[in-house]
Amino acid sequence: MKHKLTTTLITLFISGAILAGAAELPLGGWLQIPILGFIFWQLAKLPAISLKTHLTASASFALGYFVCGLWWIHISLHDVGGMNPILSAAAVFLLSSYTTLFFVLACLPIFYYRKSPILGLILGASWVLAEYVRNVLFTGFPWLGLAETQVHGPFASIAPYLGGLGCTFFVVLSSWQLLQLRKNVRGLLVFALSLTVLSQLPGLWAFTKPTGEPLSIELIQGNFAQHLVFSREGMFRQIQFYENAMIHSQAQLVVSPETSLPWPEMSLPIGTLDRLQDLANENHSTLLFGVIGYHENPPDGREFSNRALGLSDHNPPYRYDKSHLVPFGEFIPPGFRWFVNAFSVPLSDFARGPTNQPLFRIARQNEEPLYAAITICYEDVFGGELATRLRNSDQEANLLINMTNLAWFGASQAPTQQLRLSQLRSLETGLPALRATNTGVTAVLGPDGRVLAELPQFTQATLSAKLQAYSGKTPYVRWGNAPILSLACLLLVLGFIRQKRF
């Protein structure tokens, strides 16, 4: 019996790793469903007498999933940060263990409601609530959820209605239903056909529409190694490159990555901002680039921020300060100064920007201006926060802009993971998106999340394209996560009542 359990635990760990790896494949969103169904089967056939066994088994699957999906954090800690390899490996394991807890909780209905005829619905609801809590607890870390893989899967069309959590619900429900039909060939065929047809129906309705003439854009990818930013010479070389690239651009909108000018705004080389402003005035163009923001006499003592600075034709500069900061990377949680001291990299303790900052105005000659919602790197993970910003803004957003620097994570799957998150944000909002990154993936996305153009990773290049702006709001932007969370709570209450009754 003990040997059989050990085999099951190893199988679940490997299956979790395969589930994470499948996300990188072209049909990852479709493959996700049978793989998760197999994992549910392994959990469902465990003896019903031991909660401890069930918790251990579900933790084994989740740990395999997150260790495989988040291993690239080791690159930032060890390769870039100079942390002891044992400590960096331990940090990856501890973060994976933390995120594992949420998947363990999500799988509890398999143990408690295993005889319920609506277990698939209860399991989907449990997963939605667990993922929502992971999204908000301790500032949230929802990276590597099930939803983003669905940008290449059957439930992409659910995102404009119910967001990423809605996609998660249907992935879990479908995986459970597939498990129930595993011995019924005819049922499996009907299920596959129904899934294909029904998953496409929501996509027949569009909630946003093109507005104005296409906008000429340029996205600059500098491909600077992260260690260069830790020397004065490397910083000024990077500043010079991006300044020259922007000055020689003829596009209406030019976007450079997060901290592309890695120096405090008020201390940039003399004349840099004046030259860029003159360019914007002369070409009637708009420039957007990353700098280090500075705040005089801040109440919390944090003088600097991660800032996007926009310059446009004869308009005051636009400033967006990153609001959702990365724990340890951009702010130091209380009691963890010792952990940061293990790095040889000077990490930041940035000021947090307000959540209600105005949208970025993109001026156009002889046409109405466009408005863009900016996210800086990690902020693109939080679809609910972006939907709230768009819903509460005084202006209507026409496109999304994400500015990122993933040089910290080297040649790993981190860039493609964040690309899928950006694609999910476009699906949820019905808006096209621009991704300007230091090392990749720099890309132009359509309102349906499709990649319209992209640069190869780890190349120094400029992506020139035409972007069609859109107007309108999807149901998800209008209502956020309230509908799917309400449904999840209702299903859990219904499941509890049925369990008590029978």
Question: Which one is catalytic: 243, 258, 265, 428?
Answer: 258
For position 341, what pLDDT does the model report? 65
Residue with the larger pLDDT of the pair 105 and 189: 105
Q: Which amino acid is at 218?
A: E
Residue with the larger pLDDT of the pair 285 and 184: 285
For position 336, what pLDDT does the model report? 66
For position 297, what pLDDT does the model report? 74
Residues 190-243 have pLDDT tens digits of: 777 777 777 778 778 899 999 999 999 999 999 998 877 767 888 899 999 999
Structure letter (DSSP) for residue 80 = I
For position 313, what pLDDT does the model report? 87
Question: Which one is catalytic: 68, 131, 148, 322?
Answer: 322
Residue with the larger pLDDT of the pair 315 and 444: 444
pLDDT at position 1 over 80: no
Residue 322: active-site member: yes
Of 77, 85, 78, 39, the closest CA to residue 60 belongs to 39
Interatomic CA distance for residues 146 and 199, integer angstroms:
16
For position 231, what pLDDT does the model report? 79
Q: pLDDT band for position 489 (50/70/90)?
A: very high
Tell me what the pLDDT averaged over the chain comes to: 90
Span of 15-19, 454-458, 496-500 with lowest mean pLDDT: 496-500
For position 500, what pLDDT does the model report? 66
Residue 379: active-site member: no
Strands, E assignment, 250-398: 253-255, 286-294, 304-312, 318-321, 360-364, 367-376
Structure letter (DSSP) for residue 182 = T
Q: pLDDT band for position 134 (50/70/90)?
A: very high
Q: pLDDT band for position 78 (50/70/90)?
A: confident
Residue with the larger pLDDT of the pair 103 and 187: 103
For position 65, what pLDDT does the model report? 97
> What is the full DSSP assignment across 324-344?
SPPBTTTB--TT-HHHHTT-S
Q: What is the pTM of this model?
A: 0.94
For position 338, what pLDDT does the model report? 65
Interatomic CA distance for residues 414 and 263, integer angstroms:
25
Interatomic CA distance for residues 346 and 226, integer angstroms:
12
pLDDT at position 391 over 90: yes
* Cα angle for residues 56, 105, 114 (degrees, 5° grid): 80
Q: Establish whether the linkage from the previous residue to 441 is cis, with ω within 30° of 0.
A: yes
What average pLDDT does range 132-149 have in this prediction? 94
User: How much of the chain, in percent, has pLDDT values that exceed 70?
Assistant: 95
Question: Which one is catalytic: 243, 377, 385, 473?
Answer: 377
Residues 275-306 have pLDDT tens digits of: 999 999 998 999 999 999 988 777 766 788 99
Residue 258: active-site member: yes
For position 326, what pLDDT does the model report? 83
